[in-house]
Structure 1
Amino acid sequence: MFVRTVYATGDPARLGTAVGALNTRGHDLLEERPGYRGAGVFVDRELGKLLTVSWWESAEARRNSDEVMSARRPELLQPFAGTVAVENYEAAVFHTGHRALTGGGLRVSRFELDPADADLAADTFHTGVLARLEVLSGFGGAALFLDRERGRGMAGVLFADRVSLAASRARHAAIRREGAAKAHVTVVALEEFEIVHADVRGD
């Protein structure tokens, strides 16, 4: 599958307005688009950060949705958003969990790599990293996103609750260190979010 991420920052006091708009009007807009396969909304209420991920069955479906979504996005994110960044990725690895995740946690690792190593990164995550993540307490799913042209990616791991998210930090750090070395990637940012909504329709 293919994904579009929207990363917005702004006044934490106004974050709730944007979340409400995304979960109502934004959700309805996405559901109307052909090829839509689900979405996630994730927040850092303390700092004022919002991450949304929409899933598409093809790159064409994602591209065809851009005109409507880009036109309506400012309306949905105001008055919260002070900065907005939109990025497109291939979902190279996608593993669904089986837990109710609202109120749980998401940990995101952003990384850079040589585009020639994109397949190595996907294979390393799928054949080695994923099995180690699955045994972490509260594991709720994981995905690896790649932008092969720009040499960038994101690895996200969902947890059923915030306690499990916090308790996993040391073990996940070891997994991340070893996985990054094997995949020849450089981790450039690490973030944690609360899960407001996460629903993806797998194959």
Structure 2
Amino acid sequence: MFVRTVYVTGDPAKIDTAVRALNTEGRELLEERPGYLGAGVFTDHELGKLLAVSWWASEQARGNSDTVMRQHRQALLEPFAGTLAVENMESVVHRSLRVPRMGGGLRVSRVEFDPADAALFEETFRSTVLPRLETLPGLARAALLVDRERGLGRVGTLFVDRASMAASRAAQAAARHEAAAKAGVRVVSLEEFEVVHADVHLG
């Protein structure tokens, strides 16, 4: 699967306006596009951060959709958006255990790696990290997203509630440390969000 992320920061007092637009007009625009598999909207109300993620059946479908979404993105996110960054990645590992819930939690680890080690990173995550994540109480989904050419990755873990996410911090930190040691991965940032909407159709 292929993924587009839209990362936005702005005035926390105006974030709900952007969320409403994404969950109405934005969702309708996405659902009209061929190859659309689902999307998620995640927020940090305290700091004023919003992460929107859309999932696509092919790289071509993602690219075609961006032609349309680019025309509407700024209008959908006004007046909240102060900064906006769009990234395209591939989902190389995706595990779904249970249905996410509104009010749940998303943890995102942003990592860097040598592009030559992309296959090693993927295999280390699949064989070492994922089995440990699957034991975490309350885990709904886990995914590894990569940009092989640039050596960038995102590890996303979705929990059914914020309490489960908080309780998992120590165990997931240990898994990150092990993956970094085995695959030469550098963790560059770690963020947590509240789940506003998360729906991915894999069938």
Shorter-chain TM-score: which interval?
Answer: over 0.9
Cα deviation per residue 1:62-114 (whole Å; 9 max; x = unaligned)? 00111110110001100000000000001011111213421100000000111
CA distance in 1, matches of 2:100, 2:6: 23
**In the alignment, what sits opposite 2:124?**
124
Amino acid at match of 1:104: G
**In the alignment, what sits opposite 2:159?**
159
Q: What is the alpha-carbon root mean square deviation over aligned residues?
A: 0.8
Amino acid at match of 2:185: V
Secondary structure in structure 2 of the residue aligned to 1:15:
helix
- Is 1:143 aligned to residue 143 of structure 2? yes
Q: What are structure 2's unaligned runs of at least 5 residues?
A: none
Secondary structure in structure 1 of the residue aligned to 2:109:
strand
**In the alignment, what sits opposite 1:32?**
32
Q: What are structure 1's unaligned runs of at least 5 residues?
A: none
Amino acid at match of 2:141: G
The runs of at least 4 consecutive aligned structure 1 residues that moved more than 6 Å come to: none
CA distance in 2, matches of 1:151, 1:78: 32
**In the alignment, what sits opposite 1:181?**
181
CA distance in 1, matches of 2:139, 2:149: 31
Secondary structure in structure 1 of the residue aligned to 2:98:
coil
Structure 1 residue 115: deviation in Å?
0.5
TM-score by length of 1: 0.98
**In the alignment, what sits opposite 1:97?**
97
**In the alignment, what sits opposite 1:47?**
47
Structure 1 residue 177: deviation in Å?
0.6
Secondary structure in structure 1 of the residue aligned to 2:34:
coil
TM-score by length of 2: 0.98
Aligned pairs, number: 203
**In the alignment, what sits opposite 2:114?**
114
Cα deviation per residue 1:122-178 (whole Å; 9 max; x = unaligned)? 111111111100111111110000001111010000111000111111111111111
- Identity over aligned residues, as a percent? 65
**In the alignment, what sits opposite 2:196?**
196
